[in-house]
């Protein structure tokens, strides 16, 4: 059923972005099932009808959010690739991106959502899977493009196998690092980078 907009809160062009920003911050700290439209409305001083006007369902909201997250991630990876010449620099900076998320008190949005995969709407599940596919493809490309003899890891017989293991470590270590300490996380993952590029 269509929801009538709340004129006091929907005539600003940034309302949808404010909703997405707030939802992202909360989801990265609490997970999919712990965030409601009521929470967002209270935080943003909106009505739930105003949120439904922009995003008719929670699935619509989170699908849009993950699409935005994927776009931003792709842009960041492209800049990282252009700015850094060596595989070591690229992998190290990649780790630092995720460490920065932890430094802000959150976790990777798609990592958090993947933990709730069984309860996600299909459209959100597909976007989350797409995020991980994007990461794996990018890591595979930069590892395969390395000409210094790096990109190897015992037990991995291809650049894709190294990429898959590296991504699993990057995402998994966010959950297993004691106290979710960014410095410990970074040290752990930089050690893995050393193993890949030596």
Catalogue all structural domains in the chain, each as residue range(s) with its CATH number. Answer: 1-56 (1.10.10.60), 67-197 (1.10.357.10)
Task: Give, as one character, the DSSP assignment of residue 57.
Answer: S
pTM of structure: 0.89
Q: Predicted confidence band at 13 (pLDDT cuts at 50, 70, 90)? A: low
User: Average pLDDT for residues 153-160, to the nearest whole number?
Assistant: 86
Pairwise CA distance, residues 191 & 159, whole Å:
18
Residue 128 pLDDT > 70, yes or no? Answer: yes
Q: Does 5 score more than 50 pLDDT?
A: no
Segment 179-198, tens digit of pLDDT:
999 999 999 999 999 999 97
Percent of the chain's residues with pLDDT above 70: 92
List pLDDT tens digits, range 52-101.
999 999 999 999 999 999 999 999 999 999 999 999 999 999 999 999 99
Mean pLDDT for the chain overall: 91
Q: Are 56 and 3 in contact (CB under 8 A)?
A: yes
Q: Which of 32-41, 42-51, 120-129, 139-148 has the lowest mean pLDDT?
A: 139-148
- Dmax over Cα atoms in the chain, in whole Å? 61
Residue 147 or residue 98, greater confidence: 98
CA torsion 147-151-153-155 (nearest 10°) is -80
Q: Residue 79: how many CB atoms within 10 A of its CB?
A: 11
Residue 3 predicted with pLDDT over 60? no
- Helices 122-144/159-176 angle, 10° precision: 120
Is the pLDDT reported for residue 2 higher than 80?
no
């Amino acid at each position: 059923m269509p929801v009538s907009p709340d004129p006091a809160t929907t005539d600003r062009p940034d309302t949808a972005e404010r909703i997405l920003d707030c939802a992202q911050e909360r989801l990265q700290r609490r997970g999919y099932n712990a965030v409601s439209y009521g929470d967002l409305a209270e935080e943003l001083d909106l009505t739930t009808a105003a949120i439904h006007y922009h995003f008719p369902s929670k699935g619509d909201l989170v699908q849009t959010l993950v699409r935005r997250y994927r776009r931003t991630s792709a842009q960041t990876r492209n800049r990282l690739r252009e700015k850094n010449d060596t595989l070591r620099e690229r992998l190290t900076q990649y780790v630092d991106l995720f460490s920065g998320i932890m430094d802000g008190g959150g976790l990777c949005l798609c990592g958090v959502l993947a933990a709730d995969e069984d309860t996600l709407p299909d459209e959100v599940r597909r976007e989350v899977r797409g995020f991980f596919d994007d990461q794996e493809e990018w890591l595979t490309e930069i590892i395969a493009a390395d000409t210094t003899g790096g990109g190897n890891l015992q037990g991995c017989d291809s650049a894709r196998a190294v990429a898959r293991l590296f991504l699993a470590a990057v995402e998994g270590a966010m959950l297993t690092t004691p106290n979710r300490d960014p410095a410990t996380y970074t040290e752990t993952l930089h050690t893995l980078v050393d193993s890949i590029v030596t």
